[in-house]
Structures are given as C-alpha cells and as structure tokens.
Amino acid sequence: MILCIPFICVGVGAVAGFFIKKKRILRWVEKTIDIGLMVLMTVIGLSIGANELVMKNLGNIGLQSMVLSISAIAFSVFFVRLLEKTWMPLGEIRKRIEEEARAQKWDVGSESSGMAGNEKVILYLIGACVLLGILFGVLFRPFILKTVLDYVLMGSLILLYTGVGFSLGGNKRVFLYMKTLGFRVGFLALGVFAGSALSGLLWGFLLPIPVSTSLIASSGMSYYSITGAYMTQVFGIEAGTYGFMVNVMREFFTVLFLPILIRISPGSAIASGAAGNMDTMLMPITKFVGKDLSLVTLITGVLLTLLVPFLLPVLAHFFI
C-alpha cells in the first residue's frame, strides 16, 4: 500500500492541476509546498536527533558511516554522469523539449533551469531545517513522541506528493520528457546501484570494518529502515548500526549537497537521493532540478525501493 500512496497523491494533484490555471492559486500552492518542505526537513532532523542509537554512535562508527555515505553519493553521481554524457543526456533533452514547447506555444517560463533568488534561499533553508531539527531532537529527546513525528512526516509527504502532481497536471513537458527517455529511466537506477555497491566494496578493503558491512550498508541506497533491520538480523547490532546510519546520512548529505549537485547536472541530485527519491527526497530534488524531471525522480526512487529488499539477501549470501 505504501508504494501506492505517492502515485495516488500525484494522480489527485495532477487532475487538480490540469483544471486549475489561476495564477493566484498556483502561487498559493507553491508557498504551501515550500512550507511543507520546511516541515518535512525539520521532522527528518528531529528524527535523527531523537534517535539515541544514531547519536551515541557518532564517534568512530559515525565517522566511518559518513565516509561510506558521501562516497556512495560520489560514486553514484559518477556513474549517472557517465550515462548523461553518453546514452541519456538529460540536459540536452531538456533543451530540445524547451524548443519544442516554445514552438507549440506552451508556457515554459516556470521551467527555466536557473533558480530565482527566493528559491536559492529555500535551498539553503532546507539544509538549515535539518540541522536545527537535529539540535532540537537532541535537546528535547525525552519530550519527542515518535508516533507524532511519524504522523507529521506522513502528512507532509502527502502534501508534497499532491503538490508535485499539481505541478504535473498543467505541464505537458513532463510527459514529453518521459516519452523521450522511455525505458532508459531504469538505467538511472542501475547507475545509482552500481556506484553505491562499488563504493561499499572499495571501502570494505580500506576501512577497518568487514567488507560485508560496508558493501551491504552502501547498497541500502538511503532505504535505512529495512537496511538497518536486515543487517542487524543477519550480522548483528553493530552491522545494523552501520546499515542504519550510512543510509540516514545519505539523505542528510543529499539535502546539504543539493547546491553543489544541481550545479553538476540534473541527474546528479537524482543519483544522490537514490531510494529516497520515492518519498522524502522527491520534493527537495525536483523543486530545484525542474518539474519536468519529477516523474523521472519518482520512478527512479520506486525502482530502487523495490530493488533493495531483494538485493540485500543476494549480497549477504556471499558472506554467510
């Protein structure tokens, strides 16, 4: 059911966006999305700060997890950039679609690849919200109820999914983009996995931790809940801690690195978000790489989310 929620919300938002064209309402929707995004990032930070397992292991395990997380992002970006420069040049496709959109007299003003000043402010604000959330999570840990955070998180995700759909509804370019890419979207997911797995394998020989721990933790691709739980069950609590922390940090660093990633290429931010592109990373990424890439981002996240539960046991088989 959870896999259906993004598509249901996006579908409802798309229908509304198709019929509602008033600029005043569109501006109101954009402001609502910005607020929802700030709430989401703050909740993510609170969840990290309120988690004793994460905060207690910010020493040696935390530093090694940070290395694994940043490296997995870097390797994923590298492989996706190779795809962009060869088989699926997202930037060039965008330019061609902009030209066609102008020829068809579609509205392309809101789809400019550059960012307005207020968007740049929001980009840095979402990083600040995560950091402030972590701080308040640590300071007020005894008073933070996980159930309440879960409800707020789900509510903000539903709001943002619907907002993404609203943007899609009045935007023909999104579907033209998907039609142009076709099945090649799947290769974005494979590029993210290849980079993550290769990074984990490499650091397994460079860090004083088992290869199984570094490889499988990195291959979680930001799906921290199932990765942490699976590694704890199969390899023990220490390995599970790596599985959880590496992938929580991947989302954290994706948000912090967005100003850099969006300057590298459209696909770089998508590569960093990985499985998180299905939920928490969907709006932060698509807001700044462009609405025409929203479905690409979502589908990449769904494919990786479906892949991880099958992938982890396959990788673990080689070490058991």
* SS3 assignment for the chain: CCCHHHHHHHHHHHHHHHHCCCHHHHHHHHHHHHHHHHHHHHHHHHHHHCCHHHHHCCCHHHHHHHHHHHHHHHHHHHHHHHHHHCCCCHHHHHHHHHHHHHHCCCCCHHHCCCCCHHHHHHHHHHHHHHHHHHHHHHHCHHHCCHHHHHHHHHHHHHHHHHHHHHHHHCCHHHHHHHHHHHHHHHHHHHHHHHHHHHHHHHHHHHCCCCHHHHHHHHCCCCCHHHHHHHHHHHHCHHHHHHHHHHHHHHHHHHHHHHHHHHHHCHHHHHHHHHHHHHCCCHHHHHHHHCHHHHHHHHHHHHHHHHHHHHHHHHHHHCCC
pLDDT at 89 over 80: no
Contact (CB, 8 A) for 214 and 207: yes
Give the pLDDT band of residue 113 (cuts 50, 70, 90). Answer: very low
pLDDT at 21 over 90: no
According to the model, what pLDDT value does residue 14 have?
82
According to the model, what pLDDT value does residue 99 have?
66
Single pTM value for the model: 0.77
Rank 50-64, 183-197, 232-246 by mean pLDDT and report only the highest: 183-197
> How far is residue 195's CA from residue 269's CA, in Å, rounded to a whole number?
14
Among 44, 22, 227, CA closest to 131: 44
Cα three-residue angle 102-106-123, rounded to 5 degrees: 95
Contact (CB, 8 A) for 172 and 106: yes
Burial class (CB in 10 A: 0-12, 13-18, 19+), 1: exposed
Over residues 225-253, mean pLDDT = 88
Token look-up 């707020």 returns: 152
pLDDT at 55 over 70: yes
Q: Which amino acid is at 151?
A: Y
Over residues 177-200, mean pLDDT = 87
Return the higher-pLDDT residue of 72 and 259. 72
Compute the half-sphere exposure of residue 272: CA atoms within 13 Å on the CB side of its CA: 27
222 backbone φψ class: left, alpha, beta (φ>0; ψ -120 to 50): left
Q: Residue 310's domain spans which residues?
A: 4-317
> How far is residue 74's CA from residue 21's CA, in Å, rounded to a whole number?
40
Cα 108 → chain centroid: 25
Average pLDDT, the chain: 82
According to the model, what pLDDT value does residue 172 have?
62
Joined tokens for residue 204? 């397994």
According to the model, what pLDDT value does residue 112 have?
44
pLDDT at 284 over 80: yes
Q: In sequence order, which residues have a C-beta less than 8 Å from that of residue 179 and are 6 or more positions away? A: none
Return the higher-pLDDT residue of 104 and 127. 127
Number of domains in the chain: 1
Give the pLDDT band of residue 110 (cuts 50, 70, 90). Answer: very low
Contact (CB, 8 A) for 265 and 84: yes
